[in-house]
């Protein structure tokens, strides 16, 4: 597995790579959710490249950035074992050169929910993702469905900037109790970990209402929220929202996404369920 | 000469083109300044492509956008005669698809001078230029030195987004009396046209001071400004500024750019002179 540390070397590697070329952008601290992205890229592409960069620009709170789990030796072993051809591991100085002054700003799907809760987060995401997509010029890039709003933002910027890379969404991987895999799960205490799966259970209750025929957005949200409110001594709810998965606007018709965010002590967890188009 | 109207067709054309590929982005109303860009691209590249798009997003005043000169049949004849291989002429709907929500924002060199005078202008420029650079994936893109701040903004975004296209600056073409060629010159009345060359003369006076050894920024600016002030009955001065050509910050040392902007009735004209590094 080649290790590349400059944008120029990464771009040169990608230009000469066998096609199709698949890109898996990560912030490291790899878990089975990332492994699913990688094995999909490996299966679909002649060349699979991953990136590891904990992007300071997408963290609002300095503590969140400092606390974000990092384990490079373990990550490299995981990528090597998964048959990744090359990994790009730039420094912050390489990604944000001296005098850096450019930001990619997405409005629309980046505004509500996570955009509201984490000002500047999606500007940071959009800027680094645009840069990685441009440098790699990949045929496909793989993102987890767990970060559904990020996926909507990336799809929007891809379309708006005319990036010639297909965006592939990969289903969320879950623990046996339903908790979505996340690098931040390692920051939970045993008690918080035991409680954390309530987010998925709560979303499942709302989803069951929707699938059973409920078409009142607020009723679906309230059904999920009621499950979370039972644990209000231990967690706080940022939002539960039934939205359209492309625009992230409140759901009216068509495919739906039921998304939620909670805080368990210092750890903020998000999850979502994609609900099919009730008309189709 | 191929005429392409969709981003997909333009990107596909560029992907299969013989290399090196040269890109000349324009807003049409082509004059001898554009011809210089095109002949440079033609001479240096196996394939030369031009784009014509009057980008609404970079016009602040609706009147300026409406009044901007357009002459597509003439432009196509010019490009054909210059030996351009293909021209991309998208509609606004093609460039800004339904739900468009992405802007490329450059701070740094985009903030003073034109950025100050025309809020939002450089966001519009950066967004369309990023999109054209990404779609074309060209080896070289050609921009006029006349729009020196635009050049600094494009160079900044190219570096910050890691766009693998070299940016080539082409010297300003002038009328015999020194007026820099500009599509907006056609909007001048005969009296305004007769006066317009004073912008270049004024900048030349400041440049002469600098070349003669003056190293006081305000003195150089004042020398140019004094020439313009003699015509204050007929024009208004937006700015005269001695800056660093990369950062567009007030000049302290190294290479310098003396830039000016004036209004003659409804027409706003800009011009600049690039002054070498006094140390070299």
Domain ranges of chain B: 2-170, 183-272
Q: How many angstroms separate the CA of residue A277 from the nearest CA in chain B? A: 20
Instruction: Please report the pLDDT score of residue B62 as a whole number.
Output: 83
Q: Which residues of A touch B106 (CB under 8 A)?
A: 101-102
- The string over A24-62, giving b where at least 16 C-beta atoms fall within 10 Å of a residue's C-beta and e elsewhere, is bbbbbbbbebbbbbbbbbbeebebbbbbbbbbebbbeee
Residue from A31, A34, A100, A234 carrying the catalytic annotation: A34
- The string over A114-151, giving b where at least 16 C-beta atoms fall within 10 Å of a residue's C-beta and e elsewhere, is bbeebeebbbbbbbbbbbbbbbbbbbbbbbbbbbbbbb
d(CA B276, CA B280): 8
Instruction: Please report the pLDDT score of residue B86 as a whole number.
Output: 98
Percent of chain A with pLDDT over 90: 95
Q: List, in sequence order, every beta strand (DSSP E) within chain A.
A: 2-4, 21-26, 47-52, 86-88, 102-106, 140-144, 166-170, 236-243, 256-264, 267-275
Q: Label residue A113 left, alpha or beta by phi (over 0 means left) and psi (-120 to 50 means alpha).
A: left
Instruction: Please report the pLDDT score of residue B156 as a whole number.
Output: 98
Cβ contacts from A onto B, under 8 A: 90
Would the CB atoms of A107 and B101 count as touching at under 8 Å? yes
- Which chain B residues have any C-beta within 8 angstroms of a chain A C-beta? 7, 11, 15, 96-97, 99-110, 126, 130-131, 134-135, 137, 156-157, 159-164, 246-247
Instruction: Please report the pLDDT score of residue B177 as a whole number.
Output: 98
Give the DSSP letter of residue A85. S
Instruction: Please report the pLDDT score of residue A150 as a whole number.
Output: 98
- In chain A, whose CA is at the least distance from the CA of B161? A131
Would the CB atoms of A134 and B134 count as touching at under 8 Å? yes
Q: Which residues of B touch A104 (CB under 8 A)?
A: 102-105, 161
Q: Which residues of A touch B137 (CB under 8 A)?
A: 137
Average pLDDT, chain B: 96
Would you say residue B278 has pLDDT above 70?
no
Instruction: Please report the pLDDT score of residue A278 as a whole number.
Output: 67
Q: Which residue has the tokens 């000349």?
A: B24
- Region B122-146: what's the mean pLDDT? 97
Cβ(A97)–Cβ(A14) below 8 Å: no
**Closest Cα partner for B131 from B160, B102, B99?**
B102
Interface test with B, best of A13, A55, A94, A101 (most B CBs within 10 A): A101
Q: CA torsion B28→B30→B36→B39, rounded to 10°? A: 70
Would the CB atoms of A156 and B102 count as touching at under 8 Å? yes
Q: CA torsion B154→A24→A14→B130, rounded to 10°? A: -20
Question: A183-271: same fold as A2-170?
Answer: no
Q: Which CATH code is given to the segment(s) A183-271?
A: 3.30.1300.10
- Region B180-193: what's the mean pLDDT? 96
Of A7, A156, A164, nearest to B162 by CB-CB distance is A7
Q: Are strands A2-4 and A86-88 parallel, antiparallel or unpaired?
A: parallel
Q: Which residue has the tokens 């001695």?
A: B242
Instruction: Please report the pLDDT score of residue A62 as a whole number.
Output: 83
Bigger pLDDT: B64 vs A75: A75
Total count of residues recorded for chain A: 280
Percent of chain B with pLDDT over 70: 99
Instruction: Please report the pLDDT score of residue A163 as a whole number.
Output: 94
Instruction: Please report the pLDDT score of residue B60 as a whole number.
Output: 87
Q: Which residues of B touch A167 (CB under 8 A)?
A: none
- In chain B, whose CA is at the least distance from the CA of A99? B108
Enter the pTM of the model.
0.94
Q: Which residues of B touch A101 (CB under 8 A)?
A: 106-110, 156, 160
Would the CB atoms of B164 and A135 count as touching at under 8 Å? yes
Would the CB atoms of B130 and A106 count as touching at under 8 Å? no
- In chain B, whose CA is at the least distance from the CA of A126? B102
Give the DSSP letter of residue B187. G
Would the CB atoms of A104 and B101 count as touching at under 8 Å? no
Q: Which residue has the tokens 């034109």?
A: B114
- In chain B, whose CA is at the least distance from the CA of A158? B102
Residue B105 falls in the annotated catalytic set: no
Q: Which CATH code is given to the segment(s) B183-272?
A: 3.30.1300.10
Would the CB atoms of B135 and A100 count as touching at under 8 Å? no
Take residue B94 and report the two structure tokens written for it: 């093609």
Of B101, B157, B163, nearest to A160 by CB-CB distance is B101
**Closest Cα partner for B109 from A102, A64, A67?**
A102
Total count of residues recorded for chain B: 280
Would the CB atoms of B162 and A137 count as touching at under 8 Å? no
φ and ψ of B13, to 5 deg:
-60, -45
Output the CA–CA distances (angstroms, integers) from residue B122 to A207, B55, B109, B251, B260, in the order listed. Answer: 45, 11, 10, 21, 17
CA angle, B54 as apex, B51 and B58 as ends, to 5°?
Answer: 115
Output the CA–CA distances (angstroms, integers) from residue A234 to A195, A196, A203, in the order listed. Answer: 8, 10, 18
Q: Which residues of B touch A128 (CB under 8 A)?
A: none
Q: How does pLDDT run across B6-21, given as a tens digit for each residue? A: 999 999 999 999 999 9
d(CA A179, CA A199): 7
Show Cβ contacts of residue A268 under 8 Å, excluding neighbours closer than 6 positions: A64, A117, A184, A238, A261, A262
Q: Which residues of A touch B25 (CB under 8 A)?
A: none
Output the CA–CA distances (angstroms, integers) from residue A3 to A7, A9, A16, A140, in the order listed. Answer: 12, 10, 15, 20
Q: How many angstroms separate the CA of residue A231 from the nearest CA in chain B? A: 37
Cβ(B53)–Cβ(B75) below 8 Å: no
Would you say residue B76 has pLDDT above 70?
yes
The low-confidence residues of chain A, meaning pLDDT below 50, are none
Would the CB atoms of B109 and A130 count as touching at under 8 Å? no
| CATH architecture type of domain A2-170 | 3-Layer(aba) Sandwich (3.40)
Cβ(A127)–Cβ(A120) below 8 Å: no
């Amino acid at each position: 597995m080649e290790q590349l540390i400059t944008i120029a070397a990464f771009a040169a590697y990608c230009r000469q790579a066998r096609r199709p070329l698949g890109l898996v952008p990560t912030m490291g601290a790899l878990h089975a959710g990332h492994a699913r992205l990688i094995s999909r890229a490996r299966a679909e592409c002649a060349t699979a490249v991953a990136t590891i960069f904990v992007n300071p620009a997408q963290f609002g709170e300095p503590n969140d950035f400092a606390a974000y789990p990092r384990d490079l030796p373990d990550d490299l072993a995981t990528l090597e074992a998964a048959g990744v051809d090359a990994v790009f591991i730039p420094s912050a100085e390489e990604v944000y050169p001296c005098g850096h002054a450019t930001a990619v700003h997405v409005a629309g799907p980046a505004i509500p929910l996570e955009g509201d809760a984490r000002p500047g987060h999606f500007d940071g995401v959009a800027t680094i993702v645009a840069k990685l997509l441009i440098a790699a010029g990949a045929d496909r890039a793989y993102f987890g469905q767990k970060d559904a709003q990020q996926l909507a933002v990336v799809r929007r910027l891809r379309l708006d900037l005319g990036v010639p890379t297909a965006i592939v969404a990969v289903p969320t991987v879950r623990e046996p109790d339903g908790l979505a895999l996340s690098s931040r799960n390692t920051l939970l205490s045993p008690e918080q970990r035991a409680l954390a799966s309530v987010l998925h259970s709560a979303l499942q209750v709302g989803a069951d209402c929707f699938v059973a025929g409920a078409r009142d957005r607020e009723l679906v949200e309230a059904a999920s929220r009621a499950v979370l409110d039972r644990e209000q001594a231990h967690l706080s709810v940022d939002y539960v929202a039934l939205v359209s998965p492309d625009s992230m606007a409140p759901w009216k018709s068509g495919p739906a996404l039921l998304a939620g965010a909670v805080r368990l002590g210092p750890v903020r967890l998000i999850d979502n369920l994609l609900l099919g188009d009730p008309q189709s």
